[in-house]
Every structure is written in structure tokens, then in C-alpha cells.
Amino acid sequence: MNCVRSVSYLDDRIAGDLPPGAAAELDEHLEGCAQCRAALEELRLLKRALADLPAPRPGPDVLERMLQAATRSAPPARRSRAWPGWRVGLATAAVLLLAIGFILGRRFATYRAPAPQIVLLARPITVGPSVTDITLVFRASDAVRKANISLKLPDDVQIAGRPNVRRLNWRADLKSGANLLQLPLQATGAYDGGTLVVRLSQGSLVKTLEIPVAVRQAPNTGAVRTPQRSTQAIG
Amino acid sequence: MRHSRMAADAFAELLRPHLPALHRLAYRFTGREADAEDLVQECLTRLYARGERLMDIDILRPWLARALYNLHVDRSRSLRRTPFGHLHQPGGQAHEEQIGEIRPDPAADPDLVLETDRLRGHLAQAVEQLPEDQRLVVLLHDVEGYELREAASILGIPVGTAKSRLHRAHGRLRERLRQRNLMPANIVSENDCPAEPSDLTGFVQS
């Protein structure tokens, strides 16, 4: 499977609509293709953001007034056939069942799951004057909503096209499993390495990862200066 | 008289659980709360007046959505569409200024705080600017959570058509957000694929 075909399958893959053969083929491709994996994550992110688009919530009184206005305006055309008495009974029973379902749902919703486990992963980074895409992996045991993620760049390293950005903070939802973050990094004028600090927090959960960053001096020399500080993982 | 009261009660009890979703959908279609209320009100009034046999319908939610959509199409033929219009206003003057700009000026925003609200504002705007046929599939399926086959049936189109519209819409939306750097995890081009095996050895981890 090539990337063009893989990308056309991603919607179905998220919806769980892919036939088993195609799913296996796609999985095999995803295994070996970081770009398509990232495209899948991007699509998931987009779909989560779409599902979160806000809408006004009218109060129950507004909705109730609408119902009253509708039933006041005109009697139903086929009154006796459309709404016979036994159907009224059924409708009441259905509403009662819905209410029970709602209460049960609420009860389950308040069940507190154990705190999710999160592991941050990255390769040690080597950057040069040209842009290098690096990948960070956030592996979560469960979905985490509205996690705060921050990045602090070492001196002499920038996000491509963003010379003034030294720190980056945003909020994101993590899904259960591997969540990928790709960053285009590039070394600036001075040649010294350092540490890229990634921090994830949500409530009392805090994870920090310090990734050593080495700077390649120039495209032709191949010389690499390793960072002064040693790697330290803080969990 | 008694029958009429019972019919009204039965209608209300059957419809009541669906009203919040119906109102939300009407808002997605119209983009304005007042128009959404008008649309839902007219839909309810018509359904009741026609004495629709709603009890006989297996799954009411998509059926109601289709009734609402048909009414919306009838009503909006002569109206200009303004979906999500008001979303740009609260705290969003800056959004207007950024139209046409490829990316925010980093000097003016050194720490680049990517707020959820900002993403939503831009995303709402990007959805609004989709071609109408793509926008409707996104609104029904991604935003309101109807299954794709339900969305296709509501819109009266084949599932395959809905699927390809959705795919095209996702491509456009991702491109739009990418241009505004609102998706840090998305700096990826679908065209170049290294297909190198992922090797986890040598990773540092916390």
C-alpha cells in the first residue's frame, strides 16, 4: 500500500469501517510509515476538535415552551390514529426507561477511573542548519483530556520559521495509546547543543522529559557537538 | 378534547428527549441561535399538525434530523447562509484581522499559546468556508455524531458520496489549520512518505 491509498483509508479506519483485509494492509503500512501515522493522529485531533465545537444550550424552559407552542397551534390531522391512548402509555414507559437509563448513565459516569499512566518517548536529537523533523511520542494508558503540554527549546535551536519562539504551551487531548507530536527543528547561528524539555501535566499528573539535543556544525563537516548536560529523565 | 390533550402529551414526551440535539443541529445549519429556535419551532409545529406517526419510527433521532434538514433547505433557499457567524465575535476580533495571513507573527506572540478557544474559533471559521455539500457531512457526522450512513440518509445522498465529501472536507480543514499552525502534531505532508520502519531502540523516555 502506498501513502496516497493509505491516507484515503484513514477516515474508515477511525470509524472502524475498514474490511479486515484492507485494515491489515493499512496497519502494515502504518507500522513502517511515520508520515501516515502522523496523518492518522492529525485526523484524530481534527475529529476531536470538531466534536468539541461549541453550540448554545437553550434551557429546558425554552424547549418546553417550543413543545407547548407546537401542540397548541393545531390539533393533529389524524388525531385518533396518530396518538391512540395505548401509544400514550407506551410513550410514557419509553420516557421512564430513558430516565432510568440517564440516571444509570450518570452513575457510571461518576465512577472514577485510576489515573492514566503516561510515558514520554523521544530519540536523542541531532539538528543542523537544515530543518529536521523530530517525533515525540506520548504513550497513554487511557485517554487524557485537556492535558497541558509545554516545550522549552535549547538555545541555538528553533522551530523552523519561528525564531522568536523559545517556549510553546498548548492544551491537547491524548487518546489511549501512542500520540505523536512532530516538530520541525533547526539549528541557528551558534553551535552548541542543549536539552529540549517536554512537560505534560493534567491535574496532579506531571511528566517531564529532557531530550539531549546535539547540533551538527555544518552540512559538510559531519562534526557533532554533544550537549554539556547529561540526559535525565524525570517522571 | 381528552384525546387531544393525550395526543399533545404523547407528542411532547416522545420529542422532549430529542430537543437538545435537534436544537443543536438547527444551530449548526443556521449559525444563529434565534434562527435555530425558529427552525425547531416550525419543525415541531409541522410534525404535530401533520399527526406524524412518530411512534412507528424505529430510530427517531436521524428521522427528526432529516425532517429538520428538509425544512431548513426549504426555508433557506431565499436566505443567505451565515453559519457559525457569531462565534467569531466574542473575544475574536483578532480572528478577523488574521484572515488571509499564512501564520501569526511570532514576534507579536512570542510564547505562542495555542488556546483551545483559538483552535475552535479558527476551526468553526474553516468549517463555515467549506463548500456546502462538504460542510453538511462534517456537521452531521463529525460535529453532531451521526453515523456516516445516517448522515447520508439525512442528506439524501449515497454513503459513498458522503464518504468522499467527508474525506475532501478533512483535507481542507487540516490544510487550513496547518496554515495557521494550530496543529503542532500535523507538520506532515501526505505526499512524501519515507516508509522507514519505526525503531524504538535508542529512545530516551520518562
Nearest-CA neighbor of A12 among B47, B167, B193? B167
Measure Cα distances from B17 to A25, A51, A142 in Å: 42, 20, 31
B43 pLDDT above the threshold of 60: yes
Instruction: Give the count of beta carbons closer than 10 Å to the beta carbon of residue B55.
Output: 18
Using N-to-C axis directions, what is the helix angle for B19-30 and B33-49, rounded to 10°? 130
Phi, psi of A93 (to 5 degrees): -60, -40
Query: Which residues in chain A are contacts of B16 at CB distance < 8 A?
Result: 63-64, 67, 95
Residue predicted with more confidence, A131 or B15: B15
Q: Which residues pair with A11 in a beta bridge?
A: none
| Whole-angstrom distance, CA of residue B187 vs CA of residue A133 | 9
Residue contacts between A and B (CB atoms, under 8 Å): 260
**Residue showing cell 503540554:** A149
Share of chain B above pLDDT 70, in %: 65
Contact with chain B for residue A232, Cβ under 8 A: no
Grid cell in block for residue A130:
537544515
- pLDDT at position B166 is 95
Query: Which residues in chain B are contacts of A229 at CB distance < 8 A?
Result: none
Query: Which residues in chain A are contacts of B173 at CB distance < 8 A?
Result: 46, 50
- pLDDT at position A136 is 79
Buried-state track A165-178, b at ≥16 Cβ within 10 A, e below 16: bbebebbbbbbeee
Contact with chain B for residue A79, Cβ under 8 A: yes
CB contact under 8 Å between A46 and B206, yes or no, is no
Indicate the pairing of strand A118-122 with strand B204-205. antiparallel
Give B 99-118 residues with CB within 8 A of chain A: 103, 106-107, 110-116
Measure Cα distances from B105 to A163, A164, B98, B122, B188 in Å: 11, 10, 10, 16, 21
Phi, psi of B163 (to 5 degrees): -65, -45
CB contact under 8 Å between B7 and A231, yes or no, is no
Choose the weakest-confidence range: A1-10, A58-67, A198-207, B182-191.
B182-191
CB contact under 8 Å between B197 and A31, yes or no, is yes
**Residue showing cell 548536560:** A229
A207 pLDDT above the threshold of 70: yes
Indicate the pairing of strand B113-114 with strand A167-174. parallel
Instruction: Give the count of beta carbons closer than 10 Å to the beta carbon of residue A19.
Output: 9
* Residue A162 DSSP class: B
Which of A25, A52, A57, A67 is most worth mutating to test chain B (most B CB atoms within 10 A of its CB)? A67
> What's CA A93's distance to the chain center, in Å?
40
Give A 1-20 residues with CB within 8 A of chain B: 2-4, 6-8, 11-12, 15, 17
Residue predicted with more confidence, A93 or A4: A4
Q: Which residues pair with A134 in a beta bridge?
A: A183
CA distance A230 to chain B (A): 12
Query: Which residues in chain B are contacts of A6 at CB distance < 8 A?
Result: 193
Give B 56-75 residues with CB within 8 A of chain A: none
Grid cell in block for residue A85:
391512548
DSSP per residue over A47-58, as a string? Answer: HHHHHT------
- pLDDT at position A92 is 55
Q: Which residues pair with A152 in a beta bridge?
A: A167, A197
A212 pLDDT above the threshold of 70: yes
Choose the weakest-confidence range: A55-64, B23-32, B80-89, B179-188.
B80-89
Mean pLDDT of A160-166: 76
CA distance A44 to chain B (A): 10
Instruction: Give residue-wise pLDDT tens across range B53-79.
Output: 777 787 889 999 999 999 999 887 655
Grid cell in block for residue A3:
501513502
- pLDDT at position A214 is 82
Q: Which residue of A has its CA nearest to B182?
A: A170
Residue predicted with more confidence, B120 or B101: B120
Kind and range of the H or E run holding B113 = strand B113-114
Alpha helices in A33-124 (DSSP H): 34-51, 60-73, 79-82, 85-109
Whether the CB-CB separation of B84 and B125 falls below 8 Å is answered with yes
Contact with chain A for residue B36, Cβ under 8 A: yes
**What's chain A look like in SS3?**
CCHHHHHHHHHHHHHCCCCHHHHHHHHHHHHHCHHHHHHHHHHHHHHHHHHCCCCCCCCHHHHHHHHHHHHHHCCCCCHHHHCCHHHHHHHHHHHHHHHHHHHHHHHHHCCCCCCCCEEEEECCEEECCCCEEEEEEEEECCCEEEEEEEEECCCCEEECCECCCCEEEEEEEECCEEEEEEEEEEECCCCCCEEEEEEEEECCEEEEEEEEEEEECCCCCCCEECCCCCCCEEC
Predicted-complex ipTM score: 0.70
Grid cell in block for residue B172:
481542507
Confidence of residue A103 (pLDDT cuts 50, 70, 90): low
Overall pTM > 0.90:
no
Contact with chain B for residue A208, Cβ under 8 A: yes
Instruction: Give residue-wise pLDDT tens across range A182-195.
Output: 788 888 866 667 88
Give A 131-170 residues with CB within 8 A of chain B: 133, 137, 146, 161-170
Q: Which residues pair with A133 in a beta bridge?
A: A184
Contact with chain A for residue B87, Cβ under 8 A: yes
